[in-house]
Copies of this chain bind each other. A is one copy, B any other.
C-alpha cells in the first residue's frame, strides 16, 4: 500500500460548504483564496521560483467523504444527473481516494514569519481542505490543443441570469459598496446554477460564501437573490 500522505498545508477558500462550489477549477476567476503551508513545510525556500509561473496545480484530499460510499459509477451534473459514467471517467470527489486536482491562477507569494503561502484564484475547493501537493503548470506538457474531452468536452455555459429580488435590494447595495469583489463572486457562483439536477422550481436555496449567507430562488432561468446576511464572525 502507498504510504500515507502528509498534510503539507491548508486551503483557505470563500466556499464554506459544498453547495455552490464551482464544478471545476478556473470557472470563476473571482473565487480567490490563500494556500498556506503548515509546519514543517512552511519554508520560504520551498516556494523559490514559483513566482515565475502563472498557474499551479493543487492536489488536495477531501476529508469529509465517507470512503465506504465509493461506487464504480457516478452521475455527473454535466449529463443532467440521470446518466451514469465510470468514476474514473469523471472528476467526482466520490472516488476511491478522494484526491482533488485543481488548476488555479497564482497570485502573490507571501513569506512572512507568520504565514508562508500564496494567493490563488479560480478555486473550486472547500475552505479548510488539507493540501497534499503543489506542482507548477507546464504549458508545453499540460496544455494539449488536440485533446478530446468526451461528454465534458466544452466549457459549461452559465445557466442562470442573476437578479436582485425587491426585498434584498438594500442589502445588496450595501454589499456592493462595502465589498464589490464579494458581490461579483456571489453573482458568478449563482450564475453557474449550483442547484442539484432534480430541483423543485419554487424552492429557496441557501448558500454560504465567505462571511455571507445568501438565499436565492429561481423563476425559470432567472435566479433572484432574496437575502444576503453577514454571518457571525465566529460562524
Kindly state the separation between the CA atoms of A63 and B4 in the bound complex, as whole angstroms.
11
Interface centre among A1, A88, A96, A133 (most CB of B within 10 A): A88
A99 touches which one: B59, B87, B88 (CB < 8 A)? B59
Choose, from A40-48, A168-176, A196-204, A215-223, the stretch at the interface: A40-48
Q: Which of B46, B73, B98 contacts A48 (CB 8 A)?
A: B73
**Assuming A142-B142, A154-B140, is B3 touching A4 (CB within 8 A)?**
yes
Interface contact B86-A24, CB-CB below 8 Å: no
B91 touches A46 (CB 8 A): no
Known: A46-B87, A86-B50. A137 touches B133 (CB 8 A): no
Measured between beta carbons, the chain B residues less than 8 angstroms from A235 are none
- Other 19 A-B pairs with CB < 8 A, given A47-B89, A53-B149: A2-B132, A3-B61, A5-B5, A43-B72, A46-B72, A46-B88, A48-B73, A48-B86, A48-B89, A52-B148, A53-B148, A54-B146, A54-B148, A55-B144, A59-B97, A59-B101, A88-B135, A139-B147, A139-B149
The 4 A-B pairs with the shortest beta carbon distances in the complex, nearest first, are A52-B150, A49-B85, A49-B89, A4-B4
Which residues in A have some Cβ–Cβ distance to B below 8 Å? 1-8, 24-27, 41, 43, 45-50, 52-57, 59, 61, 63, 67, 72-73, 84-91, 95-99, 101, 103, 130, 132-155
